[in-house]
């Protein structure tokens, strides 16, 4: 018996006949697809499998994925946990979020670095780029053909977590993708990847395009008061597609906090360090080489500068960045 098949067998052994199973996820494409795979694996074995998520899902691509694959998610807050006798986590571990706390888990399947995990069955493989890859191996080892929708969801899980195989992708992730390709409805994949903007996002972006300011190959936009920080991220990503722009710095105010989203092309001073140097004095700031974020209470900015008007904030963000983003300009 292959090791994948042995693993899958052990996984099945954990569930009593007619089990009522609750799969809890922090919903992103990899977690959603992995939960769908668990549901398929337990088909005809469990009497019920429900997937619950505790995070807010707002990205248009994720909403499209859920809709087109019939992922069938329920908000965890709406679930009566006493109705279930088995609990499963995929693509996370209990330490990752307090929403996972206080539950005895039957199974935990994940690809993040191992933390303190206790469950009847654990399969943690930090060497894998995605959890979808692990679940694809389960399906394959048990000769279960994934439906067109499940295969498309698993492909999206792999594409998303490996950033289209440019990050942390292993040969196993590539093989799983290749295997799924035979079964998937590729129109779902295409449609999910096209779903970048809602109607409101488009209006927000239109305004940002009109009011953007370019200084030294860096593009800035201050949105004033906002209701969704996601829109700042969307604009920041979009502006990096302008030829000759190496940085985008997009800001807005929500709940008396100034939020600044930074993106750069990764070829110069890191966005995370720049965010820290420019803004950590006023609030939380940090990130990676190409992506960073700062959040500062307006009260703190007012204490230091004496002003918090929107025009002032727009100028202030620019000044702080220009002081700290480094001189290397091409």
C-alpha 11/C-alpha 135 separation (Å) is: 11
Contact predicate 241/254, CB 8 Å: no
Residue with Cβ nearer Mn ion (128 or 279): 128
Q: Is 161 a residue that touches Mn ion (CB under 5 A)? A: yes
Q: What minimum distance in Å lies between the beta carbon of 162 and Mn ion?
A: 9
C-alpha 237/C-alpha 234 separation (Å) is: 5
Task: Count, in order, helices (H) and strands (E) of the chain.
Answer: 12, 12
C-alpha 299/C-alpha 276 separation (Å) is: 19
C-alpha 315/C-alpha 145 separation (Å) is: 57
Tokens for 95, please give them.
């330490």
Q: What minimum distance in Å lies between the beta carbon of 163 and Mn ion?
A: 12
- Closest residue by Cα to residue 20 from 43, 44, 2, 46: 46
Tell the burial category of 248 from Cβ atoms under 10 Å away from its Cβ (0-12, 13-18, 19+).
Answer: buried
Q: What minimum distance in Å lies between the beta carbon of 146 and Mn ion?
A: 18
Total residues at interface with Mn ion (CB under 5 A): 4
C-alpha 26/C-alpha 28 separation (Å) is: 6
Q: What minimum distance in Å lies between the beta carbon of 73 and Mn ion?
A: 16
Residue with Cβ nearer Mn ion (38 or 262): 38
Q: What minimum distance in Å lies between the beta carbon of 320 and Mn ion?
A: 34
Q: Is 173 a residue that touches Mn ion (CB under 5 A)? A: no
Q: Which stretch binds Mn ion (CB under 5 A): 60-68, 125-133, 208-216, 273-281?
A: 125-133
Q: Which stretch binds Mn ion (CB under 5 A): 3-11, 27-35, 116-124, 201-209?
A: 27-35
Q: What minimum distance in Å lies between the beta carbon of 130 and Mn ion?
A: 5
What does DSSP say about strands 105-110 and 86-90: parallel, antiparallel, or unpaired?
Answer: parallel
Q: Is 137 a residue that touches Mn ion (CB under 5 A)? A: no
Residue with Cβ nearer Mn ion (133 or 274): 133
Q: What minimum distance in Å lies between the beta carbon of 278 and Mn ion?
A: 31
Q: Is 30 a residue that touches Mn ion (CB under 5 A)? A: yes
Residue with Cβ nearer Mn ion (123 or 161): 161
Q: What minimum distance in Å lies between the beta carbon of 120 and Mn ion?
A: 22
Site for Mn ion in 34-93 (CB under 5 A): 91
Residue with Cβ nearer Mn ion (91 or 231): 91
Q: Can you list the alpha helix ranges (DSSP code H) found in the chain?
A: 3-13, 29-41, 60-69, 131-141, 148-161, 171-181, 186-194, 199-211, 229-239, 271-279, 298-305, 310-324
Q: Is 231 a residue that touches Mn ion (CB under 5 A)? A: no
- Closest residue by Cα to residue 123 from 114, 45, 94: 114
Q: Which stretch binds Mn ion (CB under 5 A): 80-88, 101-109, 126-134, 195-203?
A: 126-134
Residue with Cβ nearer Mn ion (137 or 161): 161
Angle between helices 199-211 and 229-239 (to 10 degrees): 60
Which residues make up the interface to Mn ion (CB under 5 A)? 30, 91, 131, 161
């Amino acid at each position: 018996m292959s090791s994948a098949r042995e693993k899958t067998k052990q996984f099945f052994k954990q569930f009593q006949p007619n089990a009522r199973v609750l799969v809890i996820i922090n919903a992103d494409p990899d977690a959603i697809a992995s939960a769908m795979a668990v549901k398929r694996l337990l088909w005809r074995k469990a009497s019920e499998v429900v997937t619950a998520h505790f995070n807010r899902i707002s990205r248009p691509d994720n909403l499209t994925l859920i809709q087109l694959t019939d992922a069938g998610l329920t908000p965890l807050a709406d679930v009566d946990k006493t109705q279930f006798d088995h609990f499963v986590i995929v693509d996370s571990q209990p330490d990752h979020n307090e929403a996972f706390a206080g539950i005895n888990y039957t199974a935990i399947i994940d690809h993040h670095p191992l933390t303190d995990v206790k469950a009847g069955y654990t399969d943690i493989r930090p060497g894998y780029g995605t959890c979808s890859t692990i679940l694809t191996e389960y399906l394959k080892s048990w000769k279960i053909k994934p439906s067109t929708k499940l295969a498309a969801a698993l492909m999206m899980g792999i594409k998303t977590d490996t950033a289209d195989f440019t990050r942390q992708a292993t040969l196993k992730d590539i093989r799983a993708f290749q295997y799924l390709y035979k079964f998937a409805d590729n129109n779902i994949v295409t449609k999910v990847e096209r779903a970048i903007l809602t109607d409101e996002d488009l209006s927000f972006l239109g305004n940002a395009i009109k009011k953007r300011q370019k200084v030294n190959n860096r593009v800035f936009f201050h949105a004033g008061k906002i209701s969704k920080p996601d829109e700042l991220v969307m604009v920041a990503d979009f502006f990096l597609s302008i030829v000759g722009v190496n940085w985008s710095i997009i800001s807005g105010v929500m709940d008396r906090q100034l939020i600044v989203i930074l993106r750069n092309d990764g070829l110069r001073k890191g966005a995370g360090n720049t965010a820290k140097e420019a803004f950590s004095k006023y609030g939380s700031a940090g990130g990676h080489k190409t992506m960073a974020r700062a959040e500062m209470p307006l009260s703190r900015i007012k204490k230091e500068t004496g002003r918090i008007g929107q025009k002032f904030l727009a100028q202030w963000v620019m000044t702080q960045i220009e002081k700290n983003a480094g001189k290397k300009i091409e």
